[in-house]
Amino acid sequence: MENSRPALTMLSEEEIAFQEAVRDFAENEIKPHVQHMDEKAQMNPELIKKLFEMGLMGIETPEKYGGAGATFTMACLAVEELAKVDGSVSVLLDVQNTLVTNAILKWGTEAQKEKYLPQMAKEWVGAYALSESSSGSDAFALKLRAEQKGDKFILNGSKLWITNGNEAGIFIVFANIDVDKGYKGITAFLVEKTFPGFKVGKKEDKLGIRASSTCELLFENCEVPAGNVLGEVGKGYKIAIETLNEGRIGIGAQMVGIAAGAYKAALQYVQSREQFGKSLAHFQGVQFQLAEMRTDLEAARLMVYNAARLKDAGKDFIESAAMAKLYSSQAAERITSRAVDLFGGNGFTKEYPAEKFWRDAKIGQIYEGTSNMQLQTIAKMELDAKG
């Protein structure tokens, strides 16, 4: 079994107890459904109910709004532990906590917090709708338009690749109210699934995290009350940038969890699989591969924990978040790929867990800012600091 003691020295007793509770939940409640959910590319709705019952869908939400009132670091611990078993359930929880809830906590009015946070803590899944067909890394090349008419905004256009699209009851949607102003026209809206003119479109058929719904969103004269503007009109770009900076740490935690799950599976396999009269674990070549995987995993985990701690402490974490996401996503791909190798022919079959961990890991270098975007952020901050 994976030795996590070095990283655990960074955690309090409360955090360790929480981590263990989430780990038990993942092993007992989620693991039996993982293969079926992956094959059907569909989340088991009963698991979502249990996430709410466990209090995992409102980890940072203050107790007065029905949440756990815990820290960002604890949200990341939950994301990591779930990802050790299933990346799809992990990212559902991640988007809920590190993106949607965080944005409402920071930018929402008191009325918005009172209306939405309690529902998100007990029954509503959240989604974060920024990407479009023409705006991936160029996140502000938005074509979704918003026009104010009286006490409402009318939204027209579409969004693509929206995580939690099928399950969500509330969406943070970014639209442009004034194209001539460029990114300064971008505004964030809280859009409920039942608003007139809004519907969820097709679900993507993906390589990995298949049980996580990734959907198109369609807006045809969608009516959004003016009171559902999140933050200020024209300040959506600021909300998007700051929220994604935080969300990248959550994705880093997901990648650490996926890598840890793959490492654990490979370690157990090489100890049980025999060749030439002894277990694979007795061959030095295999031992060295395990040592490199474990070192890669520990480095990624410590970078993610460090970024989360900086965020909780109110210190500058942007560069650390970019580094954590960049490194953890690359490490996850390396570790999961090597796990497939260590399983040999069995690693290429769906009967064993290695190939799924590998498929699930690939998305880490793409969503919430590609690896190239993280490199750009790190380089810019270093050059600005040296300048």
> Among 176, 352, 371, which residue's Cα sits nearest to residue 264?
352
Out of 80, 216, 246, 368, pick the active-site residue: 368
Report the alpha-carbon distance of residue 382 to residue 386 in Å, rounded. 6
Report the alpha-carbon distance of residue 382 to residue 329 in Å, rounded. 21
368 tagged catalytic: yes
Instruction: Judge whether 168 and 43 are in contact, CB under 8 Å.
Output: no
Report the alpha-carbon distance of residue 36 to residue 211 in Å, rounded. 9
Backbone φ and ψ for 124, nearest 5 degrees, come out as -95, 125
Report the alpha-carbon distance of residue 267 to residue 282 in Å, rounded. 12
Report how far apart, in Å, the C-alpha atoms of 331 and of each of 267, 342, 382 are: 17, 16, 22
> Among 231, 248, 193, 247, which residue's Cα sits nearest to residue 113?
231
Residue where the block lists tokens 């995993």: 297
Amino acid at residue number 385: A
How many other C-beta atoms are found inside a 10 Å radius of the C-beta of residue 370? 16
Q: Which residues pair with 192 in a beta bridge?
A: 170
Report the alpha-carbon distance of residue 84 to residue 339 in Å, rounded. 14
* β-strands 168-176, 214-225 pairing: unpaired
Amino acid at residue number 44: N
Tokens of 229: 């503007």
Distance from first CA to last CA of the chain, Å, rounded? 47
Report the alpha-carbon distance of residue 30 to residue 218 in Å, rounded. 31
Virtual torsion, Cα 118, 119, 125, 130, nearest 10 deg: -80
Which residues participate in catalysis according to the annotation?
368
